Chains A and B, each alone.
Chain A
Amino acid sequence: MSEIIIFGAVTGSIYAMLAVGFTLIFGVARILNLAHGSFYALGAYGTYALTSIGGLPLWQAALLSVIGVALFGVFVERFLIRPMRKSQLAVLMISLAVALIVEQMLFLVFGSEYRNVPAFIDDKFTIAGVDIAGQRLLTLAVSAISIGALYVFIQTTRLGSAILAISQDPEAAQYMGIPADRVFCLVMALSAALAALAGIMAGPFLSVNPSMHLLPIVKAFAIVVVGGLGSIPGSILAAFMLGYAETVVAYLVSTSWTEIVSVLATLLMLVLRPAGMFGKRAAF
């Protein structure tokens, strides 16, 4: 039981980092970014490459990875997505194409075997009678801190208010002189950075291979549907719900069935309450 509580929280925290970034860029720019999973993958691979090939210490490798992925996200937004903004589907296609290109490049450079991203903490701890890797605990902490920092940023800074304004009414925000394009850039960078961070934290104990970007996208989508499109609190709550649901299923039934949880949750929510739990706009 304690295991479920703790491991469920860890899983939920990773999903939260993924989902918050995903829902943020959606809420602000109405973009469903299928390359979001690629940010996750690049974070993990970047850290791996910089440590094992570049020989850098883990802290530096992680930091550089996050920054690098954030810049990549800005690049994708500025040059590939922004010109296509008029068609949501074209944006979807382009982001998916980017995701596939990244997957292919990772495959070409690193091959398809699973890689080992080094962990920040190698020790194991015992909490409430449960043995848990330090890295997993650290993931929980990093997730809480980063999302918390993001929340504070949005609530207290001017840029944060700009983000909120654009989410609610893009046109009105523009009339007020808020530079939408610059805000999109920033949000994309934050979104990518969060995803990369998730990849770096989770890399040591989740699988790292070129096609690792797919499941996070499917799950992020499921979480955002359940939590409500564009709602950050909804995404966080739904992320933990999914994390716990999967953990419970893994312990009580079998690990094979965990994947089905997300798709079932998505379909059920879509049928029963398409706006999600806290969604302001329905998906239709």
Chain B
Amino acid sequence: MRHKTFDAAGGVIAFAILALLPVIFSSGYLIGVLTVAAIYGIWAVSWDFMSGLTGRENFGHSLFIGVGAYAAGFLNTSFGFGPWWSLPAAMAVAVLFALLMGFPTLRLKGPYFALAMLSGAVIMQRLMLIFWEYTGGEEGISGIEPLLRSPLHFYWFVLAALAAVTLLLVLLARSKWGLILRAIRGDEATCLAAGINITFYKIASLAISAAFAGLGGALYAHYQLQVSPQLFAVVTSITIITMVYVGGMASIYGAVGGALLLTLMTELLRDFGEWRLMIYSLILIAILFFLPNGFIAPAWRSLRERLSSASPSNRRKTPAAAQSHAIGGSATGRETA
């Protein structure tokens, strides 16, 4: 059986379980936690697509999340548009910011790009506070309408969005887009010499990443029914990055697992209240030191290998062929998606 079949099966099973969980356990609290986890999942896969593949870690992802959320907030309250308009609007606004920030900063090497994007998010947060007359300042915008009245239906909608975004980004990552983005990570000059318009692909991938981050932001706005400058905080970006590290950088699907795991853990640690953020940071440091490849994607890959070599079609082949088939999948050094 080929990798893709396994991955598809795994994905379907995982999402089916996620969809059924609140039905089985029938708890409003669980629905809330899972909804937030799914939204973080959207944020995490969108980050992984650009930063994971190109290796240009974006420390200001919260910028796109925040502008998407605020766009939703403004559109719904100040301008009185129906809540469903928020989704495309948030994506458009986020893409706009991606283009604005992307052009000057994507030329920079890794750490400088990261820091430039971080600066963007920090400044945006300050701006929301400075222009408090328009943005509601510290309290932000409240009174946002929900998208769907039933929390369960909204959860399923968010879950469907997560599945769609993950599928789209995984497919892109496995297509020539993924090849190009990974090549950009490899060596930009060589990319140019291979005939690739790296500026286009860097900016486009940032825009795609931003679009879905903004989408998640809008969903968040219509879930919390309010937005505040906290959305722009560095903590949000770092949480998302940690989720992707836990899930396995550049795997995209791993980020979903990372989001789920960390959101659940946050809930379990609720009693520790203010210590949570510190624990996140400590986890990040631990992962960087001990598990830089994360553990969700590597775990899935080894599970997949074990299932694959036990499958009937492989047993028919000679042992040598089966072995090279198993090796072939992960011999490209760091396997992605």
Whether chain A touches chain B in the assembled complex (some CB pair under 8 Å): yes
Query: Is residue A250 contacting chain B, with contact meaning CB distance below 8 A?
Result: no
Q: Which residues of B contact A260 (CB under 8 A)?
A: 123, 127
Q: State the Cβ distance, B217 to closest chain A Cβ, in Å.
A: 21
Once A84-B288, A93-B57, A266-B119 are accepted as A-B contacts, the answer to whether A283 and B278 lie under 8 Å apart by CB is no
Q: Which residues of B contact A98 (CB under 8 A)?
A: 281, 285
A283 CA / B122 CA spacing, docked (Å): 21
Complex interface residues of chain B between 268 and 283 (CB less than 8 A to chain A): 274-275, 277-278, 280-282
Identity of the chain A residue whose Cβ is nearest the Cβ of B131 in the assembled complex: A256
Once A80-B285, A97-B285, A266-B119 are accepted as A-B contacts, the answer to whether A214 and B234 lie under 8 Å apart by CB is yes
Complex interface residues of chain A between 58 and 109 (CB less than 8 A to chain B): 80, 83-84, 88-94, 96-98, 100-101, 104-105, 107-108
| Total of A-B residue pairs, C-beta within 8 Å | 113
Contact mask for chain B residues 97-114; partner A; CB cutoff 8 A; 1 contact, 0 none: 000000111011111101
Identity of the chain B residue whose Cβ is nearest the Cβ of A84 in the assembled complex: B288
Identity of the chain A residue whose Cβ is nearest the Cβ of B277 in the assembled complex: A104
Q: Which residues of A contact B59 (CB under 8 A)?
A: 92, 96
Q: State the Cβ distance, A256 to closest chain B Cβ, in Å.
A: 4
Contact mask for chain A residues 17-34; partner B; CB cutoff 8 A; 1 contact, 0 none: 000000000000000101
Q: Are B111 and A92 in contact (CB under 8 A)?
A: yes
Q: Which residues of A contact B241 (CB under 8 A)?
A: 93
Query: Is residue B284 contacting chain A, with contact meaning CB distance below 8 A?
Result: yes
**Chain A residues within 8 Å of chain B by Cβ, number:** 41
Q: Are A283 and B57 in contact (CB under 8 A)?
A: no
A84 CA / B284 CA spacing, docked (Å): 13
Complex interface residues of chain B between 223 and 275 (CB less than 8 A to chain A): 234-235, 238, 241, 274-275
Once A218-B123, A266-B119 are accepted as A-B contacts, the answer to whether A259 and B130 lie under 8 Å apart by CB is yes
Once A89-B110, A92-B59 are accepted as A-B contacts, the answer to whether A270 and B105 lie under 8 Å apart by CB is yes
Q: Are A100 and B115 in contact (CB under 8 A)?
A: no
Q: Which residues of A contact B278 (CB under 8 A)?
A: 100-101, 104-105, 108
Query: Is residue B186 contacting chain A, with contact meaning CB distance below 8 A?
Result: no
Once A92-B59, A100-B234, A101-B278 are accepted as A-B contacts, the answer to whether A283 and B109 lie under 8 Å apart by CB is yes
Q: Which residues of B contact A271 (CB under 8 A)?
A: 103-104
Contact mask for chain B residues 107-141; partner A; CB cutoff 8 A; 1 contact, 0 none: 11111101110111011001100110000000000
Q: State the Cβ distance, A238 to closest chain B Cβ, in Å.
A: 15
Q: Which residues of A contact B119 (CB under 8 A)?
A: 218, 221-222, 262-263, 266
Q: Are B108 and A259 in contact (CB under 8 A)?
A: no
Complex interface residues of chain A between 241 and 284 (CB less than 8 A to chain B): 256-257, 259-260, 262-263, 266-267, 270-271, 274, 283-284
Once A94-B288, A100-B238 are accepted as A-B contacts, the answer to whether A32 and B112 lie under 8 Å apart by CB is yes
Q: Are B274 and A107 in contact (CB under 8 A)?
A: yes
Query: Is residue A141 contacting chain B, with contact meaning CB distance below 8 A?
Result: no
Query: Is residue B319 contacting chain A, with contact meaning CB distance below 8 A?
Result: no
Q: State the Cβ distance, A216 to closest chain B Cβ, in Å.
A: 11
Q: State the Cβ distance, A215 to closest chain B Cβ, in Å.
A: 7
User: Which of A89, A101, A215 is in CB contact (< 8 Å) with B55?
Assistant: A89
Identity of the chain A residue whose Cβ is nearest the Cβ of B106 in the assembled complex: A284
Q: Are B107 and A108 in contact (CB under 8 A)?
A: no
Binding site for A on B (CB under 8 A): 55, 57, 59, 103-105, 107-112, 114-116, 118-120, 122-123, 126-127, 130-131, 234-235, 238, 241, 274-275, 277-278, 280-282, 284-285, 288-289, 292
Binding site for B on A (CB under 8 A): 32, 34, 80, 83-84, 88-94, 96-98, 100-101, 104-105, 107-108, 214-215, 217-218, 221-222, 225, 256-257, 259-260, 262-263, 266-267, 270-271, 274, 283-284
Pairs A–B under 8 Å by Cβ, sample size 30: A34-B118, A83-B289, A84-B288, A88-B109, A90-B292, A92-B110, A92-B111, A96-B59, A97-B238, A97-B281, A97-B282, A97-B284, A98-B281, A98-B285, A100-B277, A100-B280, A101-B282, A104-B278, A218-B122, A221-B119, A259-B123, A259-B127, A260-B127, A263-B123, A267-B116, A270-B105, A270-B107, A271-B103, A283-B108, A284-B112
Besides A32-B112, A215-B126, A270-B108, 10 other CB < 8 A contacts? A89-B114, A93-B57, A101-B278, A104-B274, A218-B118, A221-B116, A270-B104, A270-B116, A283-B112, A284-B112
Which 6 A-B pairs have CB atoms at the shortest separation, nearest pair first? Answer: A97-B281, A256-B130, A104-B278, A283-B112, A263-B123, A271-B104
